[in-house]
Amino acid sequence: MLLTDKFGRSIHDLRISITDRCNYRCVYCRTGTNGAAYAELPFADYLRMARILVSLGITKIRLTGGEPLLRSGIVDFVRDLAKLRTVHGEKPEIALTTNGHLLAEIAQVLKDAGLDRVTVSMDAVDPARFARITRVPNGYDSVLAGIRASRCAGLDPVKVNCVLLRGFNEDQIIPFGMFAREEGVVVRFIEFMPLEEDRLWTPGVVVTLDEILARMSEYRPLAEIEHGRSETARRYRFADGVGEFGIIAPVSHPFCGHCSRIRITSDGKLRTCLFSTWDHDLHELMRRGAPDEKLVEFIVKTVASKEERHHIGEPGFVPASRTMVHIGG
Ligand code: SAM
């Protein structure tokens, strides 16, 4: 049996948040003042969930958080995930989303354990601005070192995610174009979504795909790269062939119709959409001793009920039941 929702979308992409702790407090993400207890499960529990989900058609697993590199034991977890086999008999593709602060010393070890790709979040290429966004002094050099170590380790391609906020860092578009060319990374701009703890989102703060493209074209001529149906990013290269960037535009150009994702939150709930207004407590079922068949039944039923689309910016929009740092980006 393969996972499909009631709209016929096949689900093959899994994101697991392995902690909701974070060592950064990015202004558009977390307040850092809510004082709530952290939620993490033993890796064995995430592994059991992943094993079952892979047997149901998941082919890609992305580890996220919170900040996933805060968890010691992540290397062994990657090694265990790499031993799973998809329904096609292959190793699942394993990726990591990280702020990169602790990446330099662990990139090679993760690669050797079976990690295929890494995405590093970085919202400014200017160290002072970077510190203002992350609210951590002197992080920039560590993140840059993490990006370079990942490239050296052969984690390919290294992607760098940048969330743009109007009036805050939208002047970083062209510097990021230069960065992509100089560092050999794929930069991806992400439109800001209403998933922050501070509730500061308004449509006006979002720097849209069209604006990013217009600005980057002032720097150099661009050519669009064909992208896969379930790929979330629109991809572009600089016309001289040096450097690539992408734009993920869930607000101005939603891609829900091709969504192939589900998420496990750090406390073991199954989440069918970033904007879900409730979660499905898979871990509670496990805790009560449910056998694999019961978990399969629960997962299949939950995935079938996946929301058709998000309603960002529409009248009556109901905010998600949790914010990004708790869901896992
Ligand atoms: N700590 C890791 C990191 O920094 O990549 C993983 C978790 S973080 C929540 C994952 C990604 O979500 C980051 O690239 C971050 O910029 C992005 N993100 C957080 N809040 C967002 C929002 N409201 N809209 C769009 N992207 C957001």
CB atoms near residue 98 (< 10 Å): 25
Residue 317: per-residue pLDDT: 86
Cis ω before 157 (30° cut-off from 0)? yes
CA 297 from centre of chain? 27
Q: What is the pLDDT of residue 35?
A: 55
Q: What integer pLDDT is reported at residue 22 of this predicted model? A: 93
Mean pLDDT of 275-280: 92
Q: Please give the distance of CA 288 from its chain centroid, rounded to a whole number.
A: 30
The residue nearest atom 7 of ligand 1, judged by CA position, is 65
What is the pLDDT at residue 144? 98
CB atoms near residue 33 (< 10 Å): 8
Q: What is the pLDDT of residues 207-216, one digit of tens each?
A: 999 999 999 9
Q: How many CB atoms lie within 10 A of CB 329?
A: 21
Could you tell me the residue ranges of all domains in the chain? 13-326
Q: Tell me: the pLDDT tens digits for 79-106?
A: 999 999 999 999 999 999 999 999 999 9
Closest CA to 19 of 72, 61, 51, 64: 64
Decide whether any atom of ligand 1 lies within 6 Å of the 324 Cβ. yes
Distance 172 CA to ligand 1 centre (A): 17
Give 164-219 pLDDT, tens digit per residue.
999 999 999 999 999 999 999 999 999 999 988 877 899 999 999 999 999 999 99
pLDDT for 283-298, tens place per residue?
999 999 999 999 999 9
Residue identified by tokens 């996220």 is 64
What lies within 8 Å, CB to CB, of 109 at 6+ separation is: 75
Ligand 1 centroid to Cα of residue 289, in Å, is: 34
Dump strand ranges (E) for 112-197: 117-121, 158-164, 186-191
Query: Are the beta carbons of 11 and 57 closer than 8 angstroms?
Result: yes
CATH topology assigned to domain 13-326: TIM Barrel (3.20.20)
How far is the centre of ligand 1, averaged over its atoms, from the C-alpha of 99 (Å)? 9
The token duo for 4 is 């499909």
Nearest one of 34, 29, 31, 118 to 69, comparing CA atoms: 118
pLDDT at residue 260 tops 80: yes
Q: Is 192 in the pocket of ligand 1 (CB under 6 A)?
A: yes
Q: 102-158: per-residue pLDDT in tens? A: 999 999 999 999 999 999 999 999 999 999 999 999 899 999 999 999 999 999 999
What's at 102, amino acid-wise? L
**Could you tell me if 248 and 259 are in contact, meaning their C-beta atoms sit under 8 angstroms apart?**
no
- Indicate the average pLDDT of the chain: 94
Torsion angle of C-alpha atoms 49, 52, 54, 58, degrees rounded to 10: -70
- Distance in Å, CA 154 to ligand 1 centroid: 24
* Tens-digit pLDDT profile for residues 28-58: 998 765 556 688 999 999 999 999 999 999 9
Which of 307, 260, 308 is closest to 53 using CA atoms?
Answer: 260
Judge whether residue 227 has pLDDT over 90: no
**229 CB-contact burial (10 Å; exposed 0-12 / middle 13-18 / buried 19+):** exposed
Supply the residue whose CA is at minimum distance from atom 5 of ligand 1.
98
pLDDT of residue 269: 96
Q: What's residue 198's pLDDT?
A: 79
Token pair, residue 193, equals: 């979504």
Can you give the pLDDT at residue 150? 98
Query: Is 27 touching ligand 1 by the criterion CB < 6 Å?
Result: no
